[in-house]
């Protein structure tokens, strides 16, 4: 069985973070979102993986994943010149897939517990396709499943104005090569894209065996800033305490805190978990770091308060106030020379400098 990770899209709702790289490489709990996807495929026994690249700095994706060997997989790259839909991206992988069953996994999706048990079930059941569904409050924003009175899947509809159910497609699809035949029959939808929902609908209409399963636990489509911050919370909720760096005063640590190699927490700091601190990061004595915060590697937090935020690698923060519900891009500097308001909410792209 093979894997396909979709790494395209412009990520317009995530700007300015996506001005300097694809949305799937934005870190959640100090790890790129698509790396969780790749590791999920690997942990499910899938070693041959194609990454479908978009036109937003694909070289950054290749730099991070290389040939896949450092992650224990074999990675091939397929280029999608412009966003033309999930089905279009899947269709580009036909030569890579050959006659194998495969899993398509959107690179900006996160799923608690992973897909291992679903991979095993797909292999055993002999399905031509299987979709994972999750109950949501806003189904009109997703592809939605419709069932008959017996609970059988009968239709998939992309972003319906009047959803027939609250069960959304999660962006994880288990497929057999017959789907390529269906993709070749598609015409662009009202969105100008080839829809994977329509390809699977053709499988249903042709009498193919299409299964579905409802996921347990949480699923996140990290398409907005708020989604990414919430995903950071969900992953940090499962964080284990670990100290690989130096903590000058143990009373500085409260709750579940993970501190990376060569990181240094100085006396007088207060870190209230769950908090993740990367390697070679320094937390000075006049710093408070509140729950649900992840701080990347090689960062320097000199002064101030940070809570419910993502601070990426190589950042410097020296403020008299509080940063809350924020994402600070890599290599950024946030400095406050004067006492300001009680809190700031910031979305800062890479290589930025802010003085207030």
pLDDT digits (tens, 9 = 90+) for 218-264: 888 777 888 899 999 999 999 999 999 999 999 999 999 999 999 99
Which CA distances in Å does 322 have to 251, 273, 278, 303, 337?
A: 21, 17, 20, 10, 14
Residue 356 has pLDDT above 60, yes or no: no
- Report pLDDT for 11: 63
Residue 235 lies in a domain: no
Q: What is the pLDDT of residue 342?
A: 57
Q: Are residues 204 and 264 both part of a single domain?
A: no
Q: Are residues 27 and 149 in the same domain?
A: yes
pLDDT reported for residue 91: 95
Q: Which residue has the higher pLDDT, 346 or 53?
A: 53
Q: Residue 61: CA atoms inside 13 Å, Cβ hemisphere, count?
A: 27
Condensed to tens digits (0 to 9), the pLDDT of residues 277-313 reads 999 999 999 899 999 999 999 999 999 999 999 999 9
With beta carbons less than 8 A apart as the criterion, state whether 209 and 126 touch: yes
Residues 33 and 72 in one domain: yes
Give the integer Cα–Cα distance in Å for 223 and 238. 22
pTM of the model: 0.89
- What domain range includes position 122? 2-224
249 Ramachandran zone, left/alpha/beta (phi>0; psi -120 to 50): beta
Give the residue, 340 or 64, on which the prediction is more confident. 64
Pick the residue with more confidence: 173 or 85?
173
Is 19 within 8 Å of 119 (Cβ atoms)? no
CA distance 231 to 215: 17
Whether 309 maps to a domain, the answer reads: yes
Q: Indicate whether 353 pLDDT > 70.
A: no
In a domain, 232, yes or no: no
Give the pLDDT of residue 140.
Answer: 87
- Residue 312's closest CA among 323, 298, 322? 298
Residue 81 lies in a domain: yes
pLDDT at 118: 94
Residue 311 and residue 342 share a domain: yes
Read off the pLDDT of residues 165-183 as tens digits, 9 standing for 90 and up: 999 999 899 999 999 999 9
Q: Same structural domain for residues 176 and 313?
A: no
208, 264: one domain: no
Mean pLDDT value of segment 36-40: 96
Per cent of the chain over pLDDT 90 is 62
Q: Is residue 237 part of a domain?
A: no
Indicate whether 143 and 204 sit together in one domain: yes
Instruction: Judge if 88 and 209 occupy the same domain.
Output: yes
- The tokens of 163 are what? 């959803």
Of 224, 252, 284, the one marking the end of a domain is: 224
Q: What is the mean pLDDT of the chain?
A: 89
Domain identity same for 215 and 304: no
Domain end position, chosen among 194, 224, 254: 224
Residues 95 and 190 in one domain: yes
Look at residue 45 and tell me if it is in a domain: yes
For residue 320, is it within any domain? yes
Token readout for 13 is 């709702």
**pLDDT band at residue 115, thresholds of 50, 70 and 90?**
very high
Distance of CA 168 to the CA centre of its chain: 17
Q: For residue 265, what pLDDT band results from cuts at 50, 70 and 90?
A: very high
Residues 217 and 251 in one domain: no
Looking at the predicted structure, is the pLDDT value of residue 354 above 70? no
End position of a domain, from candidates 167, 196, 224: 224
For the chain, what is the domain count? 2
The tens digit of pLDDT for each residue in 182-193 reads 999 999 887 778
- For residue 22, what pLDDT band results from cuts at 50, 70 and 90? confident
For residue 16, say if its preceding peptide bond is cis, omega within 30 degrees of 0. Answer: yes
CATH number at residue 23: 3.90.550.10
Same-domain check for residues 301 and 259: yes
């Amino acid at each position: 069985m093979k894997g396909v990770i979709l790494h395209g899209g412009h990520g317009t709702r995530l700007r300015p973070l996506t001005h300097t790289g694809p949305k799937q490489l934005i870190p959640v709990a100090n790890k790129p979102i698509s790396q969780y996807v790749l590791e999920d495929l690997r942990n499910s026994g899938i070693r041959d993986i194609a990454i479908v690249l978009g036109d937003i700095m694909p070289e950054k994706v290749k730099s991070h994943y290389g040939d896949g060997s450092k992650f224990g997989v074999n990675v091939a790259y397929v280029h999608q010149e412009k966003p033309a839909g999930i089905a279009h991206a899947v269709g580009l992988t036909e030569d890579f897939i050959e006659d194998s069953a495969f899993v398509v996994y959107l690179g900006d999706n996160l799923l608690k517990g992973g897909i291992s048990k679903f991979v095993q079930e797909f292999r055993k059941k002999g399905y031509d396709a299987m979709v994972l569904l999750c109950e949501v409050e806003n189904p009109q924003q997703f592809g939605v499943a419709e069932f008959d009175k017996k609970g059988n899947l009968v239709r998939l509809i992309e972003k319906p104005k009047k959803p027939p159910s609250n069960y959304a497609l999660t962006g994880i699809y288990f497929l057999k090569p017959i789907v390529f035949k269906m993709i070749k029959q598609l015409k662009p939808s009202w969105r100008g894209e080839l829809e994977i929902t329509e390809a699977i609908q053709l499988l249903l209409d042709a009498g193919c065996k299409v299964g579905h399963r409802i996921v347990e636990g949480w699923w996140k489509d990290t398409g907005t800033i708020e989604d990414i911050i919430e995903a950071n919370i969900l992953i940090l909720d499962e964080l284990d305490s670990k100290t690989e760096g130096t903590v000058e005063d143990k009373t500085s640590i409260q709750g579940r805190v993970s501190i990376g190699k060569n990181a240094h927490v100085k006396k007088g700091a207060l870190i209230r978990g769950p908090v993740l601190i990367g390697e070679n990061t320094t937390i000075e004595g006049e710093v408070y770091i509140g729950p649900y915060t992840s701080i990347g590697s090689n960062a320097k937090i000199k002064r101030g308060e940070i809570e419910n935020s993502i601070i990426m690698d190589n950042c410097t923060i020296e403020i008299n106030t509080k940063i809350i519900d924020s994402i600070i891009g890599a290599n950024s500097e946030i400095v406050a020379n004067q006492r300001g308001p009680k809190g700031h909410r910031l979305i800062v792209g890479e290589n930025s400098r802010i003085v207030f």
